């Protein structure tokens, strides 16, 4: 992999061993490190090491964390990884009202839960790739993502939509100290 002017280290963290193994095979650079850690579990921050980072990327992560308190905990831990002038870049799916995703909605009772057991905005999607696979997703409504940043001690520097159908399937924000 070509450096393209990169200075510093890249540390990729994922809970999936197969994805980390794939990254290690595809990126052969002395400045790139990969670690297995689950952001939903205490202690994951140790996988980030002692370094502080100019950029922390959390793409397609926060919407898979069940429970607002867990999302706040992870956002606060992302903040803890930042250098003084650092930026957290986040993306979350923005699937509300999209027919493609509405067809994939699964009733909570299929996994023995009721709507009273989950938070507003929580959804269960059938994420099939040849077979049935259920995936939890939280739909961030209105200012909810910005409020998460603020609760974690960060400010929203930029907000935009991109990806997919009409450039609207992903909600992106840049958070700064």
For every residue of the chain, DSSP letters joined together read ---TT--S-EEEEES-HHHHHHHHHH---TTEEEEE--TTSTTGGGGG-S--EEEEEEET-GGGS-SHHHHHHHHHHHHHTEEEEEEEEEEEE--TT-HHHHTTB--GGGGT--GGGS-TTEEEEE--SSS--EEEEE---TTHHHHHHHHTT-EEEEEEEESSGGG-SEEEEEEE-
Whether residue 1 is predicted with pLDDT greater than 60 in this model: the reply is no
Split at pLDDT 50, 70, 90, the class of 2 is low
Q: Which CATH number among 1.10.3720.10, 3.40.630.30, 3.40.50.150, 3.30.565.10 corresponds to the domain 53-176?
A: 3.40.50.150
Whether residue 53 is predicted with pLDDT greater than 60 in this model: the reply is yes
Whether residue 26 is predicted with pLDDT greater than 80 in this model: the reply is yes
pTM of the model: 0.91
Split at pLDDT 50, 70, 90, the class of 109 is very high
pLDDT digits (tens, 9 = 90+) for 74-106: 999 999 999 999 999 999 999 887 888 888 899
pLDDT digits (tens, 9 = 90+) for 143-162: 999 999 999 999 999 999 99
Domain ranges of the chain: 53-176
């Amino acid at each position: 992999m070509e450096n393209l002017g990169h200075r510093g280290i890249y540390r990729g963290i994922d809970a999936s061993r197969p994805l980390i193994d794939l990254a290690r095979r595809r990126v052969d650079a002395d400045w790139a490190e990969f670690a297995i850690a689950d952001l939903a579990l205490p202690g994951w921050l140790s996988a980030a090491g002692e370094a502080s980072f100019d950029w922390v990327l959390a793409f397609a992560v926060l919407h898979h964390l069940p429970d607002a308190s867990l999302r706040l905990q992870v956002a606060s831990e992302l903040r803890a990884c930042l250098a003084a002038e650092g930026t957290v870049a986040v993306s979350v799916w923005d699937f509300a009202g999209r027919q493609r995703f509405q067809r994939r909605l699964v009733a909570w009772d299929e996994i023995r839960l009721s709507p009273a057991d989950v938070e507003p905005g929580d959804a269960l999607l059938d994420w099939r790739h040849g077979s049935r696979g259920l995936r939890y997703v939280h739909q961030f409504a209105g200012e909810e993502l910005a409020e998460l940043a603020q609760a974690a001690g960060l400010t929203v520097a930029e907000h935009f939509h991109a990806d997919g159908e009409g450039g609207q399937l992903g909600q992106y924000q840049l958070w700064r100290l």
